[in-house]
């Protein structure tokens, strides 16, 4: 997940996936490459999907998705033996004036306050990642 300090509040980057990828609002996300750990994958996916290179902070959140609950086009991306995917949550701070350069996986983006980001996000796990980032930022203040 990517955030920046806006003029009024902290803003969260929410990306709209392309219609071929179910067209919902989500955070930066992706899979691990061979021999890649979760932090390296998060940094790589952040750069690939938005063009941003920034330090990654582990949110110490791990989510498990059953592939049986996913649509067939998502299920088809994984080997038959894979029954679930494990997702680790990370955050990255963007410069206050930075804007993303979207890859082909996304068609739109928005910078949102936490409440708006949570309302746009389709799934509870990314919503939780936004809440956790807000909690950590408030604890730092």
- CA angle at residue 14 from 118 to 121, to 5 degrees? 35
What residue ranges do the domains of the chain occupy?
A: 2-59+90-140
Residue 77 binned pLDDT confidence (cut-offs 50, 70, 90): confident
Could you give the C-alpha distances from 54 to 57, 62, 71, 86, 137, in angstroms and in order?
10, 21, 32, 23, 17
The arrangement of secondary structure in 2-59+90-140, i.e. its CATH architecture, is Alpha-Beta Complex (3.90)
How much is the average pLDDT of 107-114? 97
Handedness of CA 87, 56, 44, 96 (dihedral sign): positive
Residue 34 binned pLDDT confidence (cut-offs 50, 70, 90): confident
How much is the average pLDDT of 59-65? 89
Which pLDDT value is given to residue 141?
73
Rg of the chain's alpha carbons, rounded to an integer? 15
Which pLDDT value is given to residue 86?
84
User: What CA–CA distance (Å, rounded) separates 51 from 101?
Assistant: 6
């Amino acid at each position: 997940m990517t955030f920046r300090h806006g003029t009024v509040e902290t803003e969260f980057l929410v990306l709209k996936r392309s219609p071929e990828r179910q067209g919902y609002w989500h955070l930066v996300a992706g899979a691990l490459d061979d021999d890649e750990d979760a932090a390296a994958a998060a940094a790589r996916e952040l750069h690939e999907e938005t063009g941003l290179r920034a330090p990654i902070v582990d949110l110490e959140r791990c989510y498990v998705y059953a592939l049986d609950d996913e649509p067939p086009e998502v299920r088809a991306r994984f080997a038959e033996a894979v029954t679930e995917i494990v997702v680790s949550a990370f955050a990255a701070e963007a410069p206050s004036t930075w804007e993303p350069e979207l890859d082909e996986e996304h068609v739109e983006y928005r910078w949102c306050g936490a409440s708006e980001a949570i309302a746009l996000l389709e799934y509870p796990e990314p919503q939780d990642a936004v809440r956790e980032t807000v909690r950590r930022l408030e604890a730092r203040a």
